[in-house]
Amino acid sequence: MLRQASRLLLPRGALCQALSSQQQLLQHATHPWEQQQTRSKSDAPNVPSVPAADTTSFVHDPLDGYGSAAEVISQADVLVSASEAASDAVVLAAQAASWPGTRAFIDVLMMTHESMGLPWFEAIALSNLVIKLALMPLTVITQKEAPKMAAMRAEAEGLQKINLQMSQAKSAGEYEKLYHEYTEKMAEFKRRNKGGMVKSLLIPAMGIAQAALFISQFSAVQMLAKDKLPAMTHEGALWFTDLTMPDPFYGLPIICSIATLAMVRSGSFSDAMGQMPGGNAGMMKKMMTGVAFIMIPAGGYASSAVALLWASNALISAGQNMLLAHPGVRRLLGLPIKGVVQQPKSAEEGGSWIEQLGPQLENLNPFAQKKARRPAAAAGAALPPPPGTRVAVNYLPHKPRRKGKSS
């Protein structure tokens, strides 16, 4: 509209001159804040530029005063070699002062620590777990044979009871009757349990082997901690970083006590687990319960490495017992589903093993048996003695010399 109006009012030459002057004004026009910035720059004084400071002179060299990097590396190698030599000396001294079982477990610990690169607290727990897993087949076999051994023990105690009645027989007829009953039951017992006599030694042998193994583990860890193995002083965990010193917060002794109670409650010392024969399981449970409570005050004298060994051993045993007590696992391994083995009647009636020991020792006494058989001998019965008893040789009385004829 403006252009049309300008064309009508202005001539052509004047119109072109006005448009060109308008474009020049638009090119040189700027925003007000740009104009102010330009004005401030022009009004600023001319300040000479300052060169940047050299900051490299203020950086501290960590190797300053220690020589070159090669010298520092060589000194570190010397320290590492000295530490390894000290560790080797401690291990050799511990092995020299121990028996073969302890030496073998020290080798197992060192192999676990060095070959796998584990810290000492993990090496102790892992080696304990590996040994428990290696003994797992023997534990399963022992539990399979536990019911058979309990039945054999009940029959053997029944035969022993008959033998005791034979020694106390008051007449020849009673003695003969008991003698025939004893021989028949003994023959049946031997026929039925032909290979069970050797297997009956499996349960006590397993208990002795486990005790010897734990003593070896305990001695090995105690010797290394007592001799201050360098790596053990800083390769602990959590609050017990120094395995050579007792736990200052009594955390490990409390864990040992709880783990021992869990092991007892899980059935470690029971006939079902095949660990304790006869009526000794209850006595062993009471003893281990007392040991669990004694561990808390005694933990202030044992090193953290020993406490860690005991706690890991008890926890692994409790977990193993809980696993073997599961019905599905017992069915898979061919173990009896009922995890309870019936106690023999004689053991239940006789009370504890100390009360049962008196009649057994009296039965083994040949003088008491001879005194008990006097009524049967007085009745004129010429019967064989009870099997397994000593036979006293009766010599004829010395005849007095006849006086010679006097000359």
Residue 116, token pair as written in the block: 């796998």
Instruction: Tell me 237's DSSP state.
Output: B
Supply the pLDDT for residue 15. 44
Which range is most confident: 14-28, 77-91, 152-166, 377-391?
Answer: 152-166
> Among residues 224, 231, 208, which one has the least CA distance to residue 108?
224
Contact (CB, 8 A) for 293 and 366: no
Residue 255: pLDDT over 80:
yes
pLDDT tens digits, 76-102: 555 445 555 555 566 666 656 567 778
For residues 91 and 106, what is the distance between their CA atoms, to the nearest angstrom? 8
Parse the chain into domains and list their residue ranges.
136-340+348-357
The alpha carbon of residue 160 and the mean position of all alpha carbons in its chain are separated, in whole angstroms, by 40
Could you count the other beta carbons within 10 Å of the beta carbon of residue 329? 13
The predicted structure's pLDDT at residue 94: 62
Average the pLDDT over each of 52-56, 94-98, 115-119, 166-170 and give the range with the smallest value.
52-56
Residue type, 339: G
- The single residue listed with the structure tokens 């000396």 is 89
Per-residue pLDDT tens for 18-33? 445 555 544 554 444 4
pLDDT at 222 over 70: yes
Model confidence band, residue 131 (pLDDT cutoffs 50, 70, 90)? confident
Residue 1 has pLDDT above 60, yes or no: no
DSSP code, position 269: S
Q: Is 300 helix (H, G, I), strand (E, B) or coil?
A: coil
Asked whether the predicted pLDDT for residue 126 surpasses 60, the reply is: yes
